[in-house]
Amino acid sequence: MALPVVYSLLECADYNRTVASYLFQLADLPDILFSPAANFTALTQLYLDTNPLITAIAFGFGLAPIFLLVSEVNKNYSQVDRVWSILPVVYNLHYAAFAHLAGVHTARLDVLCVVTSIWSARLTYNYYRKGGYSIGSEDYRWATVKDYAGPALMFLFNVLFISLAQSLLLVCITAPAYVLLLTERLATYDGPIRSWNMVDAVAAAAMMTFIAISYVADQQQWNYHAAKVEYHKTAKVPPGWERADLDRGFLSTGLFAYSRHPNFAAEQGVWVTLYLWSCLATGTLYNWSGIGAAAYLLLFQSSTWLTELLSSGKYPEYQVYQAQVGKFLPIPGYGPPSFHEQEKPQANGRGLKERVR
């Protein structure tokens, strides 16, 4: 049986019962998948007979060598970045599709798919407009990593982390959807247990709130960099901006006056909320599917550390900004940052701090 038989919400979050007992399928999948007898009908049956979490894990493993090959051939290490906003919703759609095919309730999974599709569309568009899908485009931070690591160590890092670990991370952050699928199965056959309740509505609304914050933050950053480009091109301060803010080189107003990375904070909030949703749905304080959210937080800690290392070396006032504004969450008691800019002298001797209205 592809789905474990569970008799309580607590069992839906039991690792040994719902995950460990199906890991053997990972070893069997390649032989069946590449069997001479494999055809569409056989593959469809294989899909239905395989635990959906195992299918997702196998798919994540299968993508890793593709990422590795493409990145090494092109010497471009942003291959996973290009599907970062796409794969999580694919995995969630997979769990929802499996639930529909298995004939169990799907309310939670259907709503989750809608929410994460909105997340995916927003993040994919933002990545696109920044040129992420342009030929040869690569995250600027990889150049620093390559220079530091050297060719041999970079290849090993690519094998273990960039191509494999990141691929599996995108599987893991959606693992709570598998837990939700099991609660839906239980709700199908256990009358008192509901497929949707107020807790689900709150969790979905919280995810949408974080998506909205990400949208606002990314748009503010986009507007700032567009203004900075125009300012450098024309030497005129665009309407609505101050010369000092543009000269500084980094955004420190709007949401960025209270968090150095509000978009990153909200992005983490989306997937932490999904994990908490699985805890609330099963009545557990924690469960095994939190490994994805925990790894996601660690990834953002390390990647943001590198981002800020480069920013502090590029922008003289960035360390002042770091001292006054929290990395992800606002610092209690602190307001917008103050840089105490020295005024630029004009020809008439007066100071200049220009704002065009």
pLDDT of residue 341: 55
pLDDT of residue 246: 96
Residues 6+ apart with CB under 8 A from 176: 274, 275, 277, 278, 289, 292, 293
Residues 68/163, Cβ–Cβ less than 8 Å: yes
pLDDT of residue 189: 87
Residue 191 binned pLDDT confidence (cut-offs 50, 70, 90):
confident
pLDDT of residue 190: 77
pTM for this prediction: 0.91
The tokens describing 107, both together, are 């309310």
Residue 344 binned pLDDT confidence (cut-offs 50, 70, 90):
very low
Residue 1 binned pLDDT confidence (cut-offs 50, 70, 90):
low
DSSP state of 7: S
Q: How far apart are CA 344 and CA 201, in angstroms?
A: 53
Q: What is the mean pLDDT of the chain?
A: 92
Q: How far apart are CA 151 and CA 312, in angstroms?
A: 26
The tokens describing 186, both together, are 């239980």
Q: What is the mean pLDDT of residues 228-248?
A: 95
pLDDT of residue 354: 43
Q: How far apart are CA 17 and CA 4, in angstroms?
A: 7
Q: Could you report the per-residue pLDDT of 243-258, keeping only the tens digit for each?
A: 999 999 999 999 999 9
The tokens describing 163, both together, are 């191509």
Q: How far apart are CA 195 and CA 107, in angstroms?
A: 6
Q: What is the 3-state secondary structure (H, E, C) of 75-139?
A: CCCCHHHHHCCCHHHHHHHHHHHHHHHHCCCCHHHHHHHHHHHHHHHHHHHHHHHCCCCCCCCCC
- The helix/strand/coil state of 72 is helix
**Percent of the chain, pLDDT > 70?**
95
Q: Could you report the per-residue pLDDT of 142-154, keeping only the tens digit for each?
A: 999 999 999 999 9
